[in-house]
Amino acid sequence: MSLIKRMWGFTFPLIDVRLMGLGGFFFGLMLAKLWAPILGLDWYWYLIIALVLSIKFIITFFKQV
């Protein structure tokens, strides 16, 4: 079975998806509000921060592979 077919069947609890979205959104707003220079970071720092904050979601994803 191809990876894409297996990925199509993945399920995440709704609470995981909601918490990831809300947590990321509000954390980003808080950082931009409290520390304006963070908006001047290179793109890869935003990627690293997003991955660190998404660890539980990513673990759930790969457990289903």
pTM for the full predicted model: 0.42
- The confidence score (pLDDT) of residue 56 equals 81
Q: What is the pLDDT of residue 32?
A: 84
How much is the pLDDT for 1? 59
Cα torsion for 18, 58, 54, 17, to the nearest 10°? 0
**Hey, what's the torsion of the CAs at 55, 27, 29, 22, to 10 degrees?**
70
Taking CA atoms, 48 is separated from 14, 15, 41, 43, in Å, by: 24, 23, 11, 9
Top pLDDT among 65 and 21 is at 21
User: What letter would DSSP give residue 3?
Assistant: H
Q: In the prediction, which pLDDT does 30 show?
A: 87
**pLDDT tens for residues 14-64?**
777 788 888 888 888 888 888 888 778 788 888 888 888 788 877 887 887
